[in-house]
Amino acid sequence: MAKGVKPRVKVPKSASAGDTITIKTLISHKMESGQRKDSDGNQIPRSIINRFVADFNGQNVIDVTLEPAISTNPYFQFDATVPESGEFKFTWYDDDGSVYETSKTIEVN
């Protein structure tokens, strides 16, 4: 079980219809690759975030598969076009089965 996992997201509070907005996301996670050994020579089991998904009003925006070589605290920045007011939903899937969710609303006028 990964400890201290905390998602952080930055989405503009408002935008004009059809605007392209920049979304930044970061989740604090140790992203243990599974390649390392501890001081006794035992392999440290892999523990990473393996999938990241962002949805807008139920419609998928991005869906990313994460691999073990990705560093601690994976950060994603991407653009999205918003046609209407709604809610962005962000979901991270952990190797241990945990799912971390957070959402942000955006006002489009």
Partner 1 sequence: MKKSVLIAAGLMTAGAAFAGEDAILSIEGEEFVTEAAAPAHMEYVDTIYSGWTFRTDETQALQTDDFDNPAFVFLDQAIDQWDTVEGSEGKACSSCHEDVADFAGLKATLPRVEDGELVTLTNLVNECVTERMGSEKWKYSGAKMSAMTALIAHQSRGMMMNVKIDGDAAPFWEQGKELYYTRVGQLDMACANCHEDNYGNMIRADHLSQGQINGFPLYRLKNAKINTTHGRFKGCMSNIRATPFKEGGPEFKALELYIASRGQGLSVETPAVRN
> Do 89 and 6 form a contact (C-beta atoms < 8 A)?
no
Q: Which is nearer to partner 1, 8 or 107 (CB)?
A: 8
Closest separation between CB of residue 6 and partner 1, Å?
5
DSSP assignment of 13-71? SEE-TTEEEEEEEEEE---B-S--B-TTSPBPPPB-EEEEEEEETTEEEEEEE--TTSP
Q: Which is nearer to partner 1, 75 or 83 (CB)?
A: 75
Q: Which is nearer to partner 1, 58 or 79 (CB)?
A: 79
CA 53, CA 91: separation in Å to the nearest integer?
A: 5
Residue whose tokens read 């007011």: 85
Closest separation between CB of residue 63 and partner 1, Å?
22
Binding site for partner 1 (CB under 8 A): 4, 6, 8, 10, 24, 26, 28, 72-73
Q: Which is nearer to partner 1, 24 or 36 (CB)?
A: 24
Closest separation between CB of residue 58 and partner 1, Å?
26
